[in-house]
Amino acid sequence: MTQPKDDSTPAAPLTIHLVGHAHIDPVWLWDWREGVETVRATVRSALDRLTENPDMVFAHSSAAQYAWLERFPDLLAEVRAAVARGQWEPVGGWWVEPDANLPHGESFARQALYGQRTLERLVGRRATVGFLPDSFGHPATLPQLLALSGLTSFVFMRPSANELELPQNLFRWVGPDGTSLPCVRIEAYSSNPQHVQSSLERNLRWHPPGARHWLGLYGVGNHGGGPTKRAIANLRALHADPAWPALTMDSFEHFFDLVRQEEVQPGGVLPVYTGELQHHARGCYAAVSEIKWLNREAERRLIAAERMAVLAGQVGHAYPQAALTRAWERVLFNQFHDVLAGSSITRAYDAARAQLGEALAVADEAEFFAMQAIAARIDTRRGGADVDEVIRSVRWDGPTWVSDYGDGVPVVVFNPGARPWKELAEVEVNDWHTDDLTVTDDTGQEVAYQRLDPESVSGGRPRVAFLADIPAGGYRLYRISAEPSAPVVDAGLSVTEYASGTITLENALLRVEISARSGALSRVVDRARDLELLAGPGGAVQVVYDGSDTWGHGMTSLRGLVGVFGGAELRVVERGPLRATVRVTTRWGASRSVQDYTLEAHSAEVRGRLVLDWQEPHHAAQLSFPLALGGVKATFEVPYGHVERPADGQEEPVGRWLDVSGVVRNARGRAYPAGAALLSDSKASASVLGGDLRLTLARSPIYAHHDPARPDPERDHDHIDQGRLETRWVLCPHGGDWRAAGIPERAEHVGLPLPLTREYVHAGDLPPRHSLLRLDGLDGATVTAVKRAEDGDALIIRVHEWAGRGAEGMLYWGGAAVPVGVRAHQILSLRVEADGRVQAVNFLEEPLGGAP
């Protein structure tokens, strides 16, 4: 037996704690069906090895995989017995091992809620060790997310030592809110049973100098497998060799118990690390656009549906708990890192599309029937006057029957957020064949509206947009009537078409110019301060060469510009008192872009809708906004938080928004603090170089191509993101920084049109305008989730402090008023009982300080 190659001689005897493990990707180069097959076979093998080796411990993550075992009760019973005798350790505590950069922060709360409850129900205990060995990077906010999940330590592998330098591979990670926990960066999550010694030698070089305890994993992984007889025999042989440190079969939990014991000893304090654990595989965050959109759409729709169902509970509507739980489980499963990151095979996304479609259907029904339940109780009569009949007239008109509900169409517009919100609402009503329409609010006052194109080419059905002003956590009744309206008051929105082909949109706040030559924004002017915010064409679709693999291994930036979409064709497609839109068509290579630039009368935002027909393998498309800013700070949203990153042009993962703030000078040279945030409904990869902000729209390597594999030139390979891609974005110029502009609050509404339902005229016991949930004060904090508690009839209301300053204020729910204080960066979950009692809880909906 050779002497282990240990370059750092420990000051005290070293024990290596060996944990059996089988890394299983439920989806990757295979679909979920093969994942189930792999889990069954691996679990059977692991149980057999445990029986043969009473001192062995096997650790396994991912509650979703335990839920699969529920279909095989005999196998699950054996796992539960192994857990009870201490040989099987549930780890991770989450539904899967998700990508840690892309999901909404609320998704991590649900990973924990449904993951830990499932583990406890199926095998009798929860996890205490966070476990993401194969995820590609980790946000600085993760310590708080782990701790609120009931996890007290963390094991990871990526980024590796050549990607991120750490003080050592055993350290204490401190999040922005002050939460800290011990963490280990492991050398590998699997091992070759024929080369156990060389694996241990590599691992030994990772242990911190002077440490008395170190961690090692053994077992075949990726497609499962786990510890083999040969591997265990080789480990026992090494254990008997006096040249080696002591080797002991152990659990993660016991290893971290020893680490915490060492921390209180003289010289045992772990080095502290703050910040992100990045980067590995930067290219993933722009791979497979569809899965990014489906995930984000499902997240926001489920969160909105839960809120609406809670509001409807006030009128006796049954909360659809089981359906929403099932939908969340579908979403959480597809946040598995190789699915959401875009690194799986084509066939894997067929299943993901179906599963996330199921979640969206559940959310759609839950939200709509909750709105209907509330609307059915609202007194929708005009001035309380009854109508003779609900359906006043029916007539045949061309291709369809036309009905008049009598006294106009009541439209109930909802705001599930906890602060008042004002936005254009769009609604289409049945055919009246009249140009005379009036929109009124709950007081009978006329509301300005704008006629829109109907969705059907058959025409006839009036479609209108009007500015809805909705109270917090409630609704407001509007009415559309077939009556002449008062003359439209000029709201100050203008469209000017110049002989050059350039078009200008202007309101009291912004002047937006679209260049006939480039088809991009040539000017965005802050009219109040006469500040030019762009340094070049904004919103241009740029093309860069990208020869990297699916993961983007070796790629740090996407800045190799090879072209810009051009040949612009401009036309005005909306010109009204409330909204104006210019549609621009451009082309590059075999690809075509159709982009709408929209300015609304009362808005200081530029909105975009981009439909891209992308046909360029091994290239990437980007939306570019060169901002006229100096001294910039680039801030990116991360799960339940934000992080400042260097404006160095490197590709970075991003949530719903990123911001570039600095100073801009006016024509007289005076400097003003200013910035701009870019919000997106689905894109998750971006870079900032100086003031140049780029949002990556698409990358097109071959599906699941991992270097150094070389694609067969004789084979037709499927390339990612070919075909129709759609994204919506919002450019939010602002003075000061993004906090003062309330960008995170604005991001809560991206991709979510105001929910509404049409109603008929009837009496009711609810008023035409009502607020049930609102925040007062608490500037810099947002209510991010409102749901029914898993146990009992309490509510869970989650508040996130995003400004980093701490805040105090009042939370109003129904008739209760609750004083609320949040620390800087805190995620505060409140359990509100039916009798008004309130207590702070963790993601598991249990009182902070431990489970009851």
More confident residue, 386 or 105: 105
Domain containing 852: what range? 772-852
Longest dimension (CA), the chain: 97
Domain of 391: which CATH number?
A: 2.60.40.1180
Taking the C-alpha atoms of residue 157 and residue 155, their distance in angstroms, rounded to an integer, is 7
Task: Assess whether 477 and 558 both reside in one domain.
Answer: no
In a domain, 296, yes or no: no
683 lies in some domain: yes
**pTM, whole model, 2 decimals?**
0.96
Q: Is the pLDDT score of 752 beyond 60?
A: yes
Residues 683 and 815 in one domain: no
Q: What is the pLDDT of residue 851?
A: 33
Same domain, 166 and 265: yes
Q: How far is Cα 390 from Cα 410, in angstroms, rounded to an integer?
A: 12
Phi-psi region of 589 (alpha: psi -120 to 50; beta: other; left: phi over 0): left
Q: What's the whole-number mean pLDDT along residues 563-587?
A: 98
Let me know if residue 311 belongs to a domain: no
pLDDT (average), residues 721-739: 97
SS (H, E, C) 337-359: HHHHCCCCCHHHHHHHHHHHHHH
Residue 453 CA from chain centroid, whole number = 32
| 3-class state of residue 59 by DSSP | strand
Round the average pLDDT of the chain to a whole number and report it.
95
226 and 120 in a common domain: yes
Please indicate, yes or no, whether residues 30 and 108 belong to a single structural domain of this protein: yes
pLDDT tens-digit series, residues 100-145: 999 999 999 999 999 999 999 999 999 999 999 999 999 999 999 9
Do 149 and 196 have their domain in common? yes
Task: Residue 130: give its domain's CATH number.
Answer: 3.20.110.10
The mean pLDDT of 707-720, rounded to a whole number, is 95
User: Can you give the three-state secondary structure of 197-208, one letter per residue?
Assistant: HHHHHHHHCCCC
The answer, yes or no, to whether residue 460 has pLDDT greater than 80, is no
Judged by phi (left if over 0) then psi (alpha if -120 to 50, else beta), residue 661 lies in beta
For residue 308, the model assigns a pLDDT of 98
Q: Which residue has the tokens 């974005």?
A: 729
What's the confidence (pLDDT) of residue 815?
84
Closest CA to 461 of 427, 432, 438: 432
Checking if the pLDDT of 783 tops 50, the result is yes
Domain assignment present for residue 353? The answer is no
The residues, ordered by sequence, that sit 6+ positions from 398 with a Cβ below 8 Å of its Cβ are 458, 460
Give the pLDDT mean for 198-220.
93
Pair 558, 480 in one domain: no
Per-residue model confidence (pLDDT) at position 434: 74
Strands 474-481 and 409-415: antiparallel
Confidence class for position 405, pLDDT limits 50, 70, 90: low
pLDDT in tens, 322-369: 999 999 999 999 999 999 999 999 999 999 999 999 999 999 999 999
pLDDT, average across residues 666-691: 96
713 Cβ contact list (under 8 Å, min separation 6): none
Burial class for 563, CB neighbours closer than 10 Å (0-12, 13-18, 19+): middle
Quote the CA–CA distance of 73 and 88 in Å, as a whole number.
17
Q: What is residue 395's predicted lDDT score, i.e. its pLDDT?
A: 60
Residues 629 and 633: their CA atoms lie apart, in Å, by: 10
Residue 503 falls inside a structural domain: no
The DSSP bridge pattern shows strands 769-771 and 773-777 to be unpaired
Measuring CA to CA, which residue among 447, 703, 674, 696 is closest to residue 578? 447
413 and 266 share a domain? no
Mean pLDDT across 154-180: 98
On whether residue 316 sits in a domain, the answer given is no
Q: Do residues 474 and 415 touch, judged by C-beta distance below 8 A?
A: yes
AA letter at 737:
D
The C-alpha atoms of residue 409 and residue 153 are separated, in whole angstroms, by 57
| pLDDT score at 849 | 58
Task: Give the CA radius of gyration of the chain.
Answer: 29
Judged by average pLDDT, the poorest of 283-297, 645-659, 810-824 is 810-824
**Spatial separation of the C-alpha atoms in residues 532 and 542, rounded to whole Å:** 22
Q: Which residues contact 85 (CB under 8 A, 6 or more apart)?
A: none
Average pLDDT over residues 155-170: 98
Cis, bond preceding 159 (omega within 30 deg of 0): yes
Helix (H) or strand (E) holding 130: strand 129-132
Residues facing 754 on adjacent strands:
none
CA-to-CA separations, 632 to 468, 557, 627, 645, in angstroms, rounded: 36, 19, 10, 11
> DSSP readout, 143-206?
HHHHHTTT--EEEE--S-TTT---S-SEEEEE-TTS-EEEEEE-S-S---GGGHHHHHHHHHTT
Question: What does the DSSP 8-state code read for residue 590?
Answer: T
- Do 168 and 272 fall within a single domain? yes
pLDDT at 398: 60
Closest CA to 63 of 6, 25, 120: 120
- Number of domains present in the structure of the chain: 4
The pLDDT of residue 647 is above 80: yes
Residues 173 and 236 occupy one common structural domain: yes
Other beta carbons within 10 angstroms of residue 527's beta carbon come to: 13
Whole-number pLDDT of residue 1: 33
Q: At which of 238, 256, 280 does a domain end?
A: 280
By CB atoms closer than 10 A (0-12, 13-18, 19+), residue 318 is exposed
CB atoms within 10 A of CB 749: 18
Amino acid, res. 513:
E
pLDDT at position 581 over 60: yes
Q: What is the pLDDT of residue 403?
A: 57
Q: With respect to residue 41, please indicate whether it lies within any of the assigned structural domains.
A: yes
Of the candidates 180, 297, 205, the one whose C-alpha atom is nearest the C-alpha of residue 680 is 297
Checking if the pLDDT of 579 tops 60, the result is yes
The terminus-to-terminus CA distance of the chain in angstroms comes to 51
Those residues with Cβ within 8 angstroms of residue 119's Cβ, 6 or more apart along the chain or in another chain:
63, 66, 90, 93, 125, 126, 127
Nearest to 694 by CA among 536, 518, 515, 566: 536
For range 704-733, the mean pLDDT? 96
pLDDT tens string 487-509: 777 889 999 999 999 999 999 99
Domain edge (last residue) among 228, 261, 280:
280
Asked if 485 and 573 sit in the same domain, the reply is no
Give yes or no: residues 219 and 104 share one domain: yes
In this structure, what token pair is assigned to residue 138? Answer: 């980790």
> Which tokens in the block code for residue 574?
């909306």
Reduce the DSSP state of residue 215 to 3 states and report it: strand
Let me know if residue 239 belongs to a domain. yes
Nearest in space to 428 (alpha carbons), one of 388, 457, 395, 456? 456
pLDDT tens digits along 597-645:
999 999 999 999 999 999 999 999 999 999 999 999 999 999 999 999 9
Handedness of CA 192, 193, 194, 200 (dihedral sign): positive
Cα gap 787→815, rounded to integer Å? 18
- What are φ and ψ of residue 191, in 5° steps? -150, 155
Average pLDDT of 581-599?
99
